[in-house]
Amino acid sequence: MTEERGDGSLQASGLAARMAEHKKEATRLERVLRDLSERWSDPRAVEKDLDGLAEHALERALELSAGIRELVERGKTWLASEKEERRSRLARGLKEGAAARQVPLLVVTREPLELRLPPLGVAIDIEAARATITFGQQELAACPADAEEILEAREKALSQLDRSGWDPEVFHRDLRQAWLAAVARTGQGEGWVELAEVLPQLAFALQSPRWRLDPSPRNFTGYGKAQFLYELNRLRSAGGLSCDGWRLVLGPATGASTRDKRRVFWVEDGEGRGAYHLTLRFARDEELHGPKS
């Protein structure tokens, strides 16, 4: 506990004790002060309680205005410094924790604070003291903005994304079958189908034999947008865009289509570089590169 934080807590406690003499008239203000004394280490709670104190009319009647004003100013000063201290503590903790795990730590943007712990992203709200683990601009998990919590949430999210026995050639074939089903359902010419049409077909294709025998919710294995984007990245990283003479081709999202985030997919690599895509198709290798001589 810093000196400023400790002094503020003691001052709030002392004012609360004085308020106890006027309980009948000031029950609410006493409760606010006691809460402030106990929650001084929580910046968001302190800010809320300080606002309540600053506006409370009883401070003048109870001749506590000077003490309360001093406490409010002390709290505001501490809040301003605590934000920077939290950022510094978090940066140190993440740097040390990532190094211990041999995971690179990359800064994407500083305001808002976005980091990369490849292959996943981390968006951090310093004010709210919350962090979000992401891939493909999809939320995977949320946790307190604490270095150890963030690193543990990242590891848990990765373990959930890494399907057991995943194989690039098998995934390529499953995706091509899902594309064929989407083409048949939508009747799209030249084979271009929206990714949003292919994803549910792929989710069905990946279900277990148990689900096929009994297609009930308890036997269904979820397969969402983040999982799909993660495995597209794995496929590209494995050099598996071509298989069995067929090559996966992604169509970029352009113009107005990028505004509807339900239809477009942010296809990124492990470091967060990417672009919005709307469609995909499979084409014969010779169609794209010409016949082999």
pLDDT tens for residues 227-263? 999 999 999 999 989 999 999 999 999 888 778 888 9
φ and ψ of 193, to 5 deg: -130, 145
Q: Does the structure show a pLDDT above 80 at 290?
A: no
Q: What's the confidence (pLDDT) of residue 82? A: 80
Q: What's the confidence (pLDDT) of residue 19? A: 62
**Selection from 188, 261, 273 nearest residue 225 by Cα:** 261
| DSSP string covering 157-192 | HHHHHS-TT--HHHHHHHHHHHHHHHHHHH--GGG-
Token digits for 54?
A: 């600053």
Q: Does the structure show a pLDDT above 80 at 114?
A: yes
Which range has the top average pLDDT, 30-44, 61-75, 134-148, 182-196? Answer: 134-148
Work out the angle at residue 37's Cα, subtended by the Cα atoms of residues 32 and 43, and round it to the nearest 5 degrees: 90
Q: Count CB atoms within 10 A of the CB of residue 150.
A: 25
Buried b (16+ CB within 10 A) or exposed e, 15-44: bbeebeebeeebeebbebbbbbbebbeebe
Q: What's the confidence (pLDDT) of residue 63? A: 58
Token digits for 133?
A: 């683990």
Q: Does the structure show a pLDDT above 60 at 9?
A: yes
Q: Does the structure show a pLDDT above 80 at 2?
A: no
Token digits for 258?
A: 């990028």
Q: Could you tell me which residues come within 8 angstroms of residue 190 by beta carbon, excluding any fewer than 6 positions away? A: 281
Q: What's the confidence (pLDDT) of residue 4? A: 54
Report the share of the chain in percent with pLDDT over 70.
Answer: 88
Work out the angle at residue 87's Cα, subtended by the Cα atoms of residues 84 and 92, and round it to the nearest 5 degrees: 125
133 bridge partner residues: 122, 141
**Selection from 57, 9, 7 nearest residue 33 by Cα:** 9
Q: What's the confidence (pLDDT) of residue 1? A: 47
- Asked if residue 116 lies in contact with residue 271, where contact means CB atoms within 8 angstroms, the answer is yes
Q: pLDDT confidence of 278, banded at 50, 70, 90? A: very high
Q: What's the confidence (pLDDT) of residue 26? A: 61
Q: Is 127 exposed, middle or buried (0-12, 13-18, 19+ CB in 10 A)?
A: exposed
* DSSP summary character for residue 258: G
CA–CA distance from 92 to each of 89, 98, 271 (Å)?
A: 5, 10, 21
Q: Does the structure show a pLDDT above 90 at 200?
A: yes
| DSSP string covering 215-230 | --GGG-----HHHHHH
Q: What's the confidence (pLDDT) of residue 143? A: 97
| Cα dihedral: 268, 274, 277, 281 (round 10) | -70
Question: Chain-wide mean pLDDT for the chain?
Answer: 86
- Asked if residue 251 lies in contact with residue 192, where contact means CB atoms within 8 angstroms, the answer is yes
Which residue did the predictor score with more confidence, 120 or 42? 120
Over range 68-78, report the average pLDDT: 79
